[in-house]
Each structure stands twice: as structure tokens, then as C-alpha cells.
Amino acid sequence: MNLHHFKERRTICFVLFTIMLLIVAAPLQVCAQGTGSMNGVNKTISGVVMDDAGEPIIGASVSIEGTSNGVITNLDGEYRLENVPANGTLVFSFLGMRTQKIAVAEKTNINVRLAESTVNIDEVVVIGYGTQRRGLITNAVSSVKFDDSNYKVSSLSPAQLLQGRVAGVNMSLGSGNLGSRERISIRGASSLSASNEPLYVVDGVPITNSNGNLYDFGEAMSSLSSLNLTDIESVEILKDAASAAIYGSRATNGVILITTKSGKEGRTEVKVNLNAGVSHWANKNKVKLADSNLYLEAYNEGVDNYNRQYGLQVGDANYLTHISNPHPTIRDTDWLDLITQSAFQYNANVSLSGGTKKTNFYIGVGYSDQEGVIRTNSIQKMTLNAKINHEFASWLEAGANITGTYIKNNQVPGANSGAQILGRAIQKRPFDLPYKPNGEYYLGGTDELAYHNPVQILNEETKYVENYRYIGNFYALLKFLNNRLTFRTSFYPDMGYTYDYTYYNENSPYGLGVGRIIDYNRFVPNTTFDNIVTYQDKFGSLNFSAMAGHSYQYIKNRTSMIDANGFSSPAIDVVGVAAQVAGVNGTLSEFAMESYFGRVSFDLLDRYIFNATLRTDGSSKFARSVRWGVFPSVSLGWNISKEKFFTLPDVDLKFRASYGKTGNQESIGNYASQPQMSDGLNYGYNVGIGVTNFGNEELTWEKADQYNLGFDLSILSGKVNMVFDVYQKNTNNLLYNAPTPATTGSTSMTKNIGSMRNRGVEFTLNTYLNLGKVQWNSQFNISSNKNMLTSLLGDELIAIGSNRALQVGKELGAFYLYKMEGIYQYDGEIPIEQYNIGVRAGDVKWYDADNNGIINDDDRVVMGSAFPKFFGGWNNTFKYKDFQLDIFFNYSYGNKVYAEWKTESLAKIGYWPGYLEDYAKNRWTGPGSTTKYARSINGSALSGFSAKNSDRFLEDGSFIRLQMLTLSYNLPKSILKPLNMKGVRVYCQADNLFILTKYSGYDPEVSRSMDPSFFGMDKFNIPSPRTISLGINANF
């Protein structure tokens, strides 16, 4: 595949593209060079470097082995290299290709074809505070390079690009709403606390990653969705502690290094990517609900059962009466249809790049406009990127990299909101209507509509979040002693500004009848100042390199909020003119960290490799005496295939072993160690103070020790590559906001409470094979991680939330639920304690652990985990002539999902809102009718007895998803040459074509909580949509 031609993606707007074509049709200057002749011992060699499809490679490096003499291929893939000794060997290399060496001998013209390789031992891999050749990597670092074929055009955050691509990395989204927050888990959950996110470092900048939104709208927004994806060149994932420990105290959950594109020497390029697509909710009809007839039958049976149970007769005050369809002549409403839409999206990107020996530049511009599948959900995004560096003198290089992004997210209420849109649509009774005959809304919370009217919610609320982000990188690099000694000083400003606007107008249920605006601002300046010295040298066949550095990071978080109401009409929409200010708030919080770090690397004969790092961090979050944490690591590698005794041809084999220590402090508040008396506890309009934070001065670093063993194997000259790793990560001093007895004055306190172990294996298999005329490339990965809590304070089970537990020997946040044993068929079976509170035949028989007849807290059982037993992805690329087909699956096995959406009402037969069809149809109607479904009984409390948080609603969330299917066509050279274009690719991409799962909800891959302790909770989260897009990538 012609990676080099179309290193980018994105396309749309074909009109725009045509215009661009016309403008640029004027010939670009092409510098072709003739081939010269040779004389003497040294001669001139020329030729063409091509990829395995025969397409010229631009910018491939051609050099004479053992010298610094080398050139780069031109636009036609041609090179010309002078002064080549006849006994020399030429080395041909290009990023993403397997390096080839060819002895010169008699030849004067050498044409080569480079084979594609993702595991290239000469490839340069970005590691913490530096780079390293893949061949010298001794720890678990995965690298993903993005190009047209593996780039998902509808993605908004870099995390989405990684889904299923890397062994050991599991990505999930909160929902299918645009910009929904993601959860990335690298080698399992390593911390107990909500923050289990890896550290993100963009071009050296450790960025902040707090929620993108401020006023809670039921779903967190990804702050990473504002990043510019099209400019990403590669993402490196530091998975083991030895690679991550250089980031010390924030590395326990792994580190994700994002590297953006730069201009390349000798390659002036203009790339235009356009695409347009449409998304829709593919399996909208999967959840079947009772129609009017079935609903009424079941409901009224519940009424009868209730009256009978309490011996109520007509005329009694509490006697309940039957209901009937209030609109018998109107068809049942399709509520989902009222809230969903076919969603269009357009994305456009242009990049300009180039460079000389001394200067490189890159300019990127991007624009996206996407709609969500829920009406009114949309995103507009703009990104700008400029990068330049210049060598001012042989000893001085300096550069700057500036990224500015803007994203506006028009949010809809998420799963944690009282007006959560999907739930409020589905839970309607089948005959409920959105509008009264007079055109007014039916209102929620009345006898006409139990829950909010979702049409009213969407129409009468305006909610958007704007994120502006500036990430800068300014550096100067001083070089001494032939580049062996360098000093780099860098300043990284990362400025995030968020404006969050919520307007419940006077017609909204939350509008207080007069309109209410919540106007929220946040500014988060994050500055980092790094100074790094590196030194490298060679002593015979021993290569040595060392790095030492200092870093200071300071993050400030300033917010202000005004909550006001009273607006004369919905058209008046700024907070300043409100009649009444109901609340104001302003906060300022600071965090600082200072670090010293270093690394030494040795390699002997490229065979024996040793790397060691040390970092020490001082954090303002901890009290002085425990402030500093030390994080060492060491790793070893053995390139056994370079040993003399290793005679297998075309095989590369390297063993790796590593150990490291990392930390975590993200999960605790900036001032968690300090007891505080806060202002703002006002009464009677007077200022009051009181204790708001109990503080824990004993708080200290959560630390993890991680061991990793692995090998990299490449056979058949790189046609088959394998990477295998096993690891164990022990986290100690887990930080947790642990429950405390309320009698202490607080129900929780941040403590170091225990330890946890993650153990796993990862396997990646990449193959590059020819099937006749078809080139087949495949990347397969599978990983398994077993998480277990190994100790807790007191070793007692800690119940958390309403249905999860922390227990030694179990997974973090294992489900903690009642267990169903069947259905009571006769009243006589029911313990008197249950009978007395209204339980009757037809209700669920729960497991009674202590056998006391009472079903209470002590009868819950720890069962199942939201974490998969194994998961991964499989990408297949088929190339035939100029066509390419990419098929990408991701899968997960053994993860449980809790179908929380059923418990609120849909599974409570007899309660007011709508019913699930199977629960209503199969309901218990008499002895022997069913052992699975409960009877109908009026009201939430009685029907709720059978709908307790239990294994009834815990489901297998295993799945295989066809994540992406892309068919593309590269226009042939014969057409492009006269137009002076380097390449044009047209493609069609389909996301999420199907999902195979036993889960009864829409999508097992969503969760309303991103906290690993509460992961796997589906509460009517919007499922991932299916998107079909068409696009074009043009390269001038």
C-alpha cells in the first residue's frame, strides 16, 4: 500500500475537492535527476526505490553502510548516490518498511522493492523523553502508526483510534453520543480510584485530561476529543513499568505518547482529505416492548392482584381501578423515532509540509461537522497545527510546535441524567403521546406521563460545551562533541478553556417556568518546563547512552459559575439579564510537581541490551514528609538471533525482561492531605465556615511493581512477526476514597487501603503474505488480564455503590447482587417475614444466605466481573492491483454487563411505565406457569421486590464487532502523472456494520460509569452508531 503517498486521511465535500483540483492543476515543480556514470574505485549508483506494489517511495533513505553518506529518494522514488566504494553495501530504508541491504559489487543501477513491515527493528520508537531503535527496546512498548487504511474517519478522540489495535489495551466509550468520554485500560485496572486513566503526552507535553464538560448533563465529555487526530503520526503505548517508570508517579496506568506529523526533508507535500458520511442507529428495534394490548392486560392484572392481596373492595379508599387506553383510535407512538435522526458528517483536512536539511515545517488545518444519532446532538471541530524547526548552527537547533483546537459539543442528556433521553423515550407506555390535542406537551411526572417527555427535553433545552485548547512546544537543542552530548530545554504550555452553557427555557421541565441558565467557565493552564541532558558514546562494540533531566509542572484550575433564572422569552439567552441569580460559584485549585529523572542504556554488539531509569517526583498533593516518591526501573534484552550459534535464516528473535516501579496520585484531590475549614457555609445571608475536609496526612504514594517477560520473533524475512509478553503488576497502598462509618462525621475518606494484582499475557501476530495476486496483511492481537484484590483494610468486603463490591480474592468492583432461585409458586412457600411486606406467589424467590427469611443486605453474593477474560482485535488488509480492502474486527469475551436499564421500570410488571415484551408476555399467572418471570403486581415497591439488583439482570457482554470495513481505490499513476499529482485514493468506509452478542441490550460496549469499580453498567446509554462514509485523499 502506498503509505508514503497518502499519509493522511479525511475527506469529504467533493465540490470543495474539485475546486482544489482546478487550482492546483498548474504543474508543481518536479526535480528529476539523470543518472551519471562512474569512474575510479568509487562510483555513482542510481536507481528507484519502490514498495512491494511497484509504486515509487518518496523520501526513502539510501546510504552506504558504515558511513554517513546517504541520500533521500525524490518524488519519483529515484536516488543517485556518489562516491560509493565498489565493495560497499547500500542500505535502503523507509518508515514502516523492512530495511534492505544490497552489496554494490559491479552494479551501477540498483532498483529495490521494500517490503512492508510493522515490526521493524530499525524503526525509531518514541519512548519517554527520547527515542530508541525498535531493536534496542527491552520493554513492552506498542506503537501504532496511522495511515489511511487504519484510520477511522468518524473518530473524535485518539483513544477511539486505538480500539482493538493494541494487545493489552482495552478502550470503551461511555456511549454512542458524540464526544462521550472514553476509558482506556492498559493491562487492566491498576488503581481503585476513579482515575484509572493513562497519562497522555502529546509531543512531550503531559496534558491534562479532566472532563470536557462542567455542568453535569448525565454523561462526561472526553477532553481528548478536542485533539487533532489527522495530524497524528503515531501513538506509542508504554505498557510495562520499565517503559513507563520514566514518567514516575503518574505512570501506573500506562502512558500514551502521541507524536504528531512533521515535515520531511526533500518532500514538499500538499494533502487534501475530504469525506462525508451518514450515521444511524442500526439495531433500534432490538429491545421489544409490550404493545398497548399486552401492556393493559398486564397492568390491569397487577391492579387485580393488588386489590385481592390487600382485600380491597370497590369503595375502599385504597381500592385501585383498571385503566384503559386513553387514545384508542391512535396508533402506538414510536418514541425512538421521535428522538433519533439520520446523522450526517463532513470532515475536511489539508496539510502542507516540507523541509530541507536544516528546516522542516508542517501546517495542518482540519474541520469537522458531525451529527449524532440523537436529535440535536452535534459537534463542530476546528484544528490548526503549525510545526517548525531549524538548525541555526551545527550546535544549535530550535523549534516550535503550536496546536490550537476548538470543539463545540451540543450535548443531549446522558445516562446519568434524570432526563436521560433514551430511557425517557423507551419507558413510555405504548399509548402515551408527546403532544396533547391542543399542541402542548404532555408533561412528565403526571398521571399522563410517568417520566419526562423526551421530545420536550430535546426541544426546550439548549446545552453546549465549547473547548478551546492550545498546546505549545518550544524548545532549543544544544549539541556538542559531534552530537554526542546534547542539552535540550523545553517549555510546554497547555491551555484549556471550557465554556459550558445550559439553558432550560421556560417551556423546559427544568426551566422553573421562567427559564434557567447555568453559565460555567473553566480555565486550566498547565505549564511544564523540562531540561534534559543526553550523552552517547561508543567504546568498541559497546554503545552507551545516558539521559538526565529535570521537570517542573504546574497546573491551575479556575472555574466560575452563575446559575440564574427569569428570562422574558426563550429568545433571551444570556445570563446577564436574568431576573434572579440563584447561585454563583468560583473555585481555584493548584497542583505542582517537580521531578528528576534519568536513563542509561548499554548495548553490546547489538546483542545484549541494558536499560535502566530512575525518577523521583515531589507532589504538592502530599504532606511534606511523604511528598517524594522514587520510581526505578531496569530492563534487559538479548537479540539471540545475532549470536553466532544462531543459524536459522531470516529469523530475528529477541528476549526481553523488565522490572519497574510506578505511582499514581491522580485519583486524589489536590488538598486531600489537608484538613480544611471552608467558607461558603452560609445562613441568613451571613458567611459561615465549617469543616469540609477531614484530611489525611498519612496519605502517601500508591505504587505498583511490574514485571514483564517477552520475546519478539520475526520469521520468513519479516513476513510473519510475533510479539509475546507476560506480566504481573502489583499495586500497593491503593488510594481510595474508602467508606467510613457516618458516625465519624463523614461517609468516606481518602486512604491508602490495600493492594491489587494484575496478571496477564499478550500476543500479537502480524503477517504479510501473498495469496497469488492478492497481498494479504493481517494484524491479530489477543490479551488476557486477571485482576484481583489481594488485600484490603481489615480484609472485610466493602460494598460500593448499589451493586458492586471490593473483596479480597475478587476482581475490582465485582458485581454484588441478589441471586434468583426461582419464582414462588404458592403463598405457602413464602417465609412469613417476606409475606408480611407483601410478597406473594409469583414473586421472585431470592437466595437467603443466612436463612432468616429476611432478604437484606447480607444476602447479596459477589459474582462476575465487568472485565473480559480475553479481548483483542483482528485487522485484515487485502490488496489487489490498485484496490484495497480493510476489515477490522474487535472482540471481547467473558465481560459481564449489568442491564441496569431494566430495573428502573421495564422489568417491573405492574408498575406504571412501559414493559419489556418478554417480561410482560411470560409473566407468572399461576402455579407452574413460569420459574423465570415474576407476576404482575401494582406499584413500584411490590413489583420492585422481584426487580432487585440481581443476577436476573447480569448478562454476558461478550461480543465480536465488525468495527470497520474500508474499500479503497488508488488512481493509477498514468492518470495522475499528467495532473502532477502524487496520489489520489477514493474510499468507502463502514463503521460498526454488525455486532454479534448475546447481550439483550443495544450495545454491550457502553457504560454509564468510566470508573473501573463501576464499569459495565448499561443504563440506556446510546449505542455506537453505524456510520457509512465516502472520501477522497489527494496528495499533490
The rounded distance, in Å, linking the Cα atoms of 482 and 476 is 17
Say how many C-beta atoms besides its own lie within 10 A of residue 136's C-beta: 21
Identify the CA nearest to 959 among candidates 994, 1002, 995, 993: 995
Reading phi first (left if > 0) and then psi (alpha if -120 to 50, else beta), residue 240 is in beta
- In the complex with another protein, the residue whose CB is nearer, 36 or 445, is 445
Closest contact distance (angstroms) between CB of 856 and another protein is 5
Residue of 1028, 764, 913, 805 whose CA lies nearest to 323: 913
What SS3 class is residue 64? strand
Candidates 597, 629, 602; CA nearest to 533 is: 597
Cα distance between residue 76 and residue 945, in whole Å: 74
Name 1012's bridge partners: none
Half-sphere exposure of 145 (CA within 13 A, CB side): 19
Q: Are 253 and 197 in contact (CB under 8 A)?
A: yes
Rank residues 674 and 730 by Cβ distance to another protein and give the closer one.
Answer: 674
Q: Closest separation between CB of residue 476 and another protein, Å?
A: 12
CB 806 within 8 A of CB 787: no
- Taking the least distance from each CB to another protein, the nearer of 452 and 522 is 452
Q: What does the block give as the cell for 912?
A: 406504571
Minimum distance, C-beta of residue 681 to another protein, in the bound complex (Å): 4
> Would you say 510 or 933 has its CB closer to another protein?
510
Taking the C-alpha atoms of residue 596 and residue 369, their distance in angstroms, rounded to an integer, is 43
Burial class (CB in 10 A: 0-12, 13-18, 19+), 39: exposed
Min CB(431)–another protein separation in Å: 16
Nearest distance from residue 822's CB to another protein, in Å?
Answer: 22
Nearer to another protein, 596 or 610 (CB): 596
CB within 8 Å of 7: residues ≥ 6 apart? 147, 148, 233, 261, 271
CB 312 within 8 A of CB 305: no
Residue number, 855 or 1010, with CB nearest to another protein: 855
Query: Of 17 and 1014, which CB lies nearer to another protein in the complex structure?
Result: 1014
Nearer to another protein, 42 or 670 (CB): 670
Nearer to another protein, 62 or 855 (CB): 855
Question: Shortest distance, CB of residue 443 to another protein, whole angstroms?
Answer: 4
CB of 832 to another protein, least distance (A): 10
Using a 10 angstrom Cβ sphere, with 0-12 exposed, 13-18 middle and 19 or more buried, the burial of residue 715 is middle
Q: Are 991 and 890 in contact (CB under 8 A)?
A: no
In the complex with another protein, which residue's Cβ is closer, 88 or 511?
511
Nearest-approach distance from CB 819 to another protein, in angstroms: 15
- Can you tell me the distance from the alpha carbon of 848 to that of 685, in angstroms, rounded to the nearest whole number? 52
Smallest separation (angstroms) from another protein to the CB of 183? 26
Which residues lie below 8 Å from residue 635, measured CB to CB, with a gap of 6+? 138, 139, 242, 243, 610, 611, 612, 656, 657, 658, 659, 660, 708
Which residue number, 70 or 669, has a Cβ lying nearer to another protein?
A: 669
Rg (C-alpha) for the chain, rounded Å, is: 31
Helix (H, G, I), strand (E, B) or coil at 179: coil
Name 272's bridge partners: 1034
Cell of 384: 490548526
Please give the single-letter amino acid code of residue 928.
G
Closest separation between CB of residue 940 and another protein, Å? 7
The DSSP result for 537-567, as a single string, is EEETTEEEEEEEEEEEEEEEEEEEEEEEE--
Nearest to another protein of 30, 837 (CB atom): 837
Nearer to another protein, 684 or 978 (CB): 684
**Nearer CB in complex with another protein: 207/749:** 749
CA atoms within 13 A on the CB side of 957: 28
Q: How far is the CB of 981 from another protein (least distance, A)?
A: 48
Q: How far is the CB of 76 from another protein (least distance, A)?
A: 44
Q: Single out the residue of 195, 194, 205, 181 nearest to residue 256, CA to CA.
A: 205
Cβ of residue 514: shortest distance to another protein, in angstroms?
Answer: 8
- Name the residue type at position 93: S
Nearer to another protein, 628 or 780 (CB): 628
- Between 194 and 533, whose beta carbon lies closer to another protein? 533
- Taking the mean position of all CA atoms in its chain, how far away is CA 748? 29
* Closest CB to another protein among residues 941, 975: 941
Local structure of residue 813 (DSSP, 8 states): T
User: In whole angstroms, how close is the CB of 448 to another protein at the nearest point?
Assistant: 9
**Shortest Cβ distance from residue 489 to another protein (Å)?**
8
Min. distance of Cβ 496 from another protein in angstroms? 19
- Asked whether 79 and 63 are in contact (CB, 8 A), the reply is no
CB of 671 to another protein, least distance (A): 5
* Residue placing its CB nearer to another protein in the complex, 690 or 972: 690
Q: How far apart are CA 953 and CA 898, in angstroms?
A: 6
Burial call 698-711: b when 16+ CB within 10 Å, e when fewer:
ebbbbbbebbbbbb
Instruction: Confirm if 253 and 155 have CB atoms less than 8 A apart.
Output: no
CB of 1018 to another protein, least distance (A): 21
Question: Which of the 8 DSSP states describes residue 906?
Answer: I
Cα–Cα distance, 633 to 599 (Å, whole number): 9
Give the side-chain half-sphere CA count within 13 A for 127.
29
